[in-house]
Amino acid sequence: MEFGIVELSRLQFAMTAMYHFLFVPLTLGLSIILAIMETVYVMTNRPIWRQMVKFWGTLFGINFVLGVATGITMEFQFGMNWSYYSHYVGDIFGAPLAIEGLMAFFLEATFVGLFFFGWDKLSKQAHLAVTWLVAIGSNFSALWILIANGWMQNPVGAEFNPQTMRMEMTNFFEVLFNEVAQAKFVHTVSAGYVTASVFVIGVSAWYLLKGRHIELSRRSITVAAAFGLASAFSVVLLGDESGYSATHSQKMKLAAMEGMWHTETAPASFTLIGLPDQEARETKYALHIPVVMGLIGTRSLTTDIPGITELVASAEDRIRSGIIAYDALMHIREARDAADPAVMATFEEHSADLGFAFLLRKYIDDPRLATEEQIVAASNDTVPTVWPLFWAFRIMVALGFGFIGTMAYFFWRASFRQMHFPRWSLRLAVVMIPAPWIAAEMGWFVAEFGRQPWTVDGILPTAMSVSALSMTEVAITLAGFVLFYTVLFVIEMGLMLKYIRKGPFQDVEETEAWVKRHQNRLAGRQDADAIAVAAE
Amino acid sequence: MILHELMSYELLRVIWWGLLGVLLIGFALTDGFDMGVGALLPFVARTDVERRIAINTVGPVWEGNQVWFILGGGAIFAAWPPLYAVSFSGFYLAMFVILAAFIVRPVAFKYRSKRDDPRWRSSWDWALFASGAVPALLFGVAVGNVIQGVPFHFTDDLHTIYEGAWYMKFIGLLDPFSLLAGLVSLAMLVMHGAAWLTLKAEGPVQIRARAIGSVAALVAVAGYALAGVWLAFGIEGFRIMGDYATGGPSNPLHFEVERTASWLTAYSDRPWIMVAPVMGILGGLLTFLGLRAGREVSTLLVSKMAILGVISSVGLTMFPFIMPSSSDPQSSLTVWNSSSSHLTLFVMLICTAIFMPLILIYTAWVYKVLWGKVTEADVTGNSHSVY
């Protein structure tokens, strides 16, 4: 593959997006866990729960700020590196981004300051409300971002306007209730909840292994395991829902993830593992499980799932149809308002395939002059590189099932074994901390790499979306990001580890006194308790 | 989806032009004092306690303030996609510098006081200074460039092409007029930051802020007046030629544009817009007097008036132009040719009408909760929940 401005811009976007998503899942999940913990505090009035909120809140803050900072990069990048994309789909894609700011990010960012600074300035109930608003704001943010991203995967509610040379919105509600977006939203926030649960359990397990902060850690694990178990089920089931919706909207992505080179007669089998070979269009040493793929993809035993070879053939048809649309577009554009109705009708008929004609831009400026070889080459370009998708998907799914198992185990120990956790399980919990991040990054990789060669599926090829920049400029900013982000990552990890080592440091005396009273109470020494209370 | 026909495309465009101004002004009024405080930090606060006082005056609110900037970007993307595409890719390297500042600043606020090491803290203090002063300057430089026109053109497919070598996207922006605009912007936000510190701090931090702020106010007023004279005699304006549709498709290539002798003819066409520069100059002078006299709340209000006047004067003078092209005037972006579709503008307006009042209400509530001075006792006695 030649390395040009498109590849460099893609590398930059992938790098900054994946870096951004190191911080997002923890923000999504930990904000809810904080709100749950504070709810328990307000209901029971036990100071240990406030200490838990403040301790996990400190770690939340260290993480949150980098999520905010790196999120700005994402917003800037569309205009900076992908200006044709911005022009071409801004009418639809920009709206959810702006609504995210209006409805969600403003809420989250305005109240997060009070979450940290408001403990002495607000009543308990008001502070609890603030914490919930931060959590709700974060999660609504994810909703709107995923509506925007969902539209790139499944561009509904929009059509091409020849006068403005761009896609324009025709139905806002279709964009909003896009089935792909909704499935992705629940899948993504659930992944965030799992991430935060694994993080809370892992850090607490480390304390328990060290014999520190026992009360705080056991309670934290109890909350995180219950929350995490529900979320782990949700992330796997909704991931499956994403697969189901991809069957309608992104057949090529699905086929590539499965290494399904040819249409199988229904119900298709699921390839558990194997070695995909792009050249030969086959998956070697494949281990199949019968029927499963048909069930996941179509929820039926009789519907076929198309394979890559068949999809390439249909892409070739669509390219030919797209060339007709392109030709009509050129006539309409020249005539402006006075276009011939017959040409308009031709355009309407073929406009859905216009994007496929743009795939030829890689080879020739005017798609109408494309040769047969170029059309065949362009249709072959619609196949993403299979093996990374195939493997990334399998790693993600395996980790997903691993989370269900781990969460179920900790939930069982916390609920039915008096919060007693064997040492091996605590060590496992510490080692597992990075796993949800790996799963989340793999998931995004599958979603975005699997959409190639498109930025907006079937509408706008990635190669056409970039800004007219020089390699030097993009290389400078890429180098800047690498340097900058590496330094920030080192600083962030340093602070995270420092504050984890330090442990809870707020409300210490009050909490310890309460813990003592509480243990006495559990030991049945009510009289001692009364003395302790009287002594305060 | 017929409801949107109730409002004409033309009216929606004008409303969104106004909302773009509201967002930019909202950003300058709120995040503006954060940047001003950052730029003032090394000069108004010498000891660690003083610096923490200055930082904690904005500590609980900078996150919300910064969202005005993010929302501004999002609204440009959603309501003015060609403007977003042209400006972000055209000012590529300058945008990267601003972006870097907006990444560093939150981190600096949040991480600075998390370690006791003096070198750690002073590094972050300089980061706060740079990430306040540099964008404050560059925003003005960008406005200076937009007033003079930016060298770009559209292809037939509406690809945007920026003329000139890549480094001109940064060096080329720094012409004398734009640098003057940058100076006005920096001085204005320093003035605003000083007004904020006067309200929220006391003791030496407040005294120094008042001294520096009053100088900044005079510089801002003088620079702004000078830029006005420059505009009258040294800079050409733009004009759309012939009959044109204000409710037609958003395609810049459908319009004919020519250069005119000066932008300031707008003031004879629409004399009422004089109110904006008058507010700018008057606000700046009153801020100077307020800082001198040690007035607190009223100084912040007149400082806001100055910013409101200065920023809106730029938009009102250029209307209907948003981003003219110096190399190919026909490619210029105006209110009539670079908006989103009729439906998108309408949907976005409904969302704004619902959420903007809510934002203003809860933001006001947060500021009310946080009302009062940040004192030495606050930062030394309470070091776990402040920066």
Q: Decide if pLDDT at A535 tops 90.
A: no
- Taking an 8 Å cut-off on Cβ atoms, the answer to whether A87 and B161 are in contact is no
CA dist A32 and A227 (Å) reads 9
For A36, other C-beta atoms within 10 Å of its C-beta total: 19
- Whether A316 has its CB under 8 Å from any CB of chain B: the answer is no
- Whether B63 has its CB under 8 Å from any CB of chain A: the answer is yes
Q: Decide if pLDDT at A159 tops 50.
A: yes
Residues in chain A with CB shorter than 8 Å from the CB of B100 are 480, 484
CA dist B194 and B212 (Å) reads 7
- A476-527 tens-digit pLDDT: 999 999 999 999 999 999 999 999 999 888 888 888 888 888 888 888 765 5
Alpha-carbon dihedral of residues A423, A426, A431, A432, nearest 10 degrees? Answer: 140
Take residue A92 and report the two structure tokens written for it: 């639809």
Take residue B273 and report the two structure tokens written for it: 């817009």
A453 to chain B, closest Cα gap in Å: 19
Q: What is the pLDDT of residue A526?
A: 56
Q: What is the pLDDT of residue A250?
A: 84
Closest to B189 (Cα-Cα) out of B181, A4, B113, A152: B181
Lowest mean pLDDT among A241-245, B170-174, B182-186: A241-245
- Whether A129 has its CB under 8 Å from any CB of chain B: the answer is no
Give just the sign of the alpha carbon dihedral B175, B180, B181, B183. positive
Whether the bond between A453 and the residue before it is cis, its omega within 30 degrees of 0, is: yes
Q: What is the pLDDT of residue B383?
A: 58
**Mean pLDDT value across residues B321-347:** 95
Number of helices (H), then strands (E), belonging to chain B: the values are 13, 6
Residues in chain B with CB shorter than 8 Å from the CB of A477 are 92-93, 96
Mean model confidence pLDDT for chain A: 90
For B185, other C-beta atoms within 10 Å of its C-beta total: 29
What share of chain A in percent tops pLDDT 90?
68
Q: Decide if pLDDT at B352 tops 50.
A: yes
Residues in chain A with CB shorter than 8 Å from the CB of B111 are 62, 65, 491, 495
- Taking an 8 Å cut-off on Cβ atoms, the answer to whether A166 and B351 are in contact is no
The owner of tokens 């558990």 is A272
Three-class secondary structure of residue B263 per DSSP: helix
What end-to-end distance do the CA atoms of chain B give, in Å?
A: 49
The owner of tokens 């999809």 is A311
Q: Decide if pLDDT at B237 tops 80.
A: yes
- B101-116 tens-digit pLDDT: 999 999 999 899 888 8
Residues in chain A with CB shorter than 8 Å from the CB of B344 are 91-92, 94-95, 168-169
Interface of B with A in 268-327 (CB under 8 A): none
Residues in chain A with CB shorter than 8 Å from the CB of B160 are 83-84, 87, 467-468
- Whether A106 has its CB under 8 Å from any CB of chain B: the answer is yes
Which residues are registered as beta bridge partners of B240? Answer: B257
Q: Decide if pLDDT at A536 tops 50.
A: no
* Closest in A71, A90, A480 to B340, CB measured: A90
Do residues A53 and B384 lie in contact, with contact meaning Cβ atoms separated by under 8 Å?
no
**Mean pLDDT value across residues A98-115:** 92
- B202-227 tens-digit pLDDT: 999 999 999 999 999 999 999 999 99
- Taking an 8 Å cut-off on Cβ atoms, the answer to whether A491 and B111 are in contact is yes
Residues in chain A with CB shorter than 8 Å from the CB of B79 are 94, 98
* Closest in B74, B111, B160 to A98, CB measured: B74
Q: What are the E-state strand segments in B159-228?
A: 160-162
- Residue of chain B with shortest Cα separation from A366: B157
**Mean pLDDT value across residues A124-140:** 95
Residues in chain A with CB shorter than 8 Å from the CB of B1 are 170-172
Take residue A510 and report the two structure tokens written for it: 């009050």
Interface of B with A in 238-277 (CB under 8 A): 249-251, 254
- Taking an 8 Å cut-off on Cβ atoms, the answer to whether A122 and B82 are in contact is no
Between A333 and B263, name the one with better pLDDT. Answer: B263
Q: Which amino acid is at A142?
A: A
Do residues B26 and B332 lie in contact, with contact meaning Cβ atoms separated by under 8 Å?
no
Cα-only R_g, chain A: 27
- Whether B351 has its CB under 8 Å from any CB of chain A: the answer is yes
* Closest in B78, B103, B254 to A72, CB measured: B103
Residues in chain A with CB shorter than 8 Å from the CB of B70 are 71-72, 75, 101, 105
Residues in chain A with CB shorter than 8 Å from the CB of B355 are 99, 102-103, 106
- Whether B106 has its CB under 8 Å from any CB of chain A: the answer is yes
- Taking an 8 Å cut-off on Cβ atoms, the answer to whether B348 and A68 are in contact is no
- Whether A506 has its CB under 8 Å from any CB of chain B: the answer is yes
- B32-41 tens-digit pLDDT: 999 999 999 9
Pair type for strands B152-154 and B160-162: antiparallel
* Closest in A78, A112, A484 to B63, CB measured: A112
- Residue of chain B with shortest Cα separation from A365: B157
For B60, other C-beta atoms within 10 Å of its C-beta total: 26
Backbone angles phi, psi at B162, to 5 degrees: -95, 130
Do residues A373 and A381 lie in contact, with contact meaning Cβ atoms separated by under 8 Å?
no
ipTM over 0.85: yes
- B298-316 tens-digit pLDDT: 999 999 999 999 999 999 9
Do residues A470 and A270 lie in contact, with contact meaning Cβ atoms separated by under 8 Å?
no
- Taking an 8 Å cut-off on Cβ atoms, the answer to whether A90 and B67 are in contact is no
- Whether A161 has its CB under 8 Å from any CB of chain B: the answer is yes
- Whether A415 has its CB under 8 Å from any CB of chain B: the answer is no
The model's confidence at residue B12, banded by pLDDT at 50, 70 and 90, is: very high
- Taking an 8 Å cut-off on Cβ atoms, the answer to whether B355 and A114 are in contact is no
B13: left (phi over 0), alpha (psi -120 to 50) or beta: alpha
Q: What are the E-state strand segments in A67-165?
A: 158-161
Three-class secondary structure of residue A328 per DSSP: helix
Do residues B302 and B188 lie in contact, with contact meaning Cβ atoms separated by under 8 Å?
no
Q: Residue ranges per domain, chain A? A: 5-250+385-505, 308-380, 506-536
Q: What is the pLDDT of residue A525?
A: 60
- A262-301 tens-digit pLDDT: 887 777 788 888 888 888 888 888 888 877 777 777 777 7
* Closest in A76, A113, A114 to B99, CB measured: A76
- What b/e string do you get for A209-228 counting C-beta neighbours within 10 Å, with b at 16 or more? eeeebebbbbbbbbbbbbbb
Do residues A98 and B74 lie in contact, with contact meaning Cβ atoms separated by under 8 Å?
yes
The model's confidence at residue B382, banded by pLDDT at 50, 70 and 90, is: low
**Mean pLDDT value across residues A95-110:** 93
Interface of B with A in 210-239 (CB under 8 A): none
Do residues A194 and A204 lie in contact, with contact meaning Cβ atoms separated by under 8 Å?
no
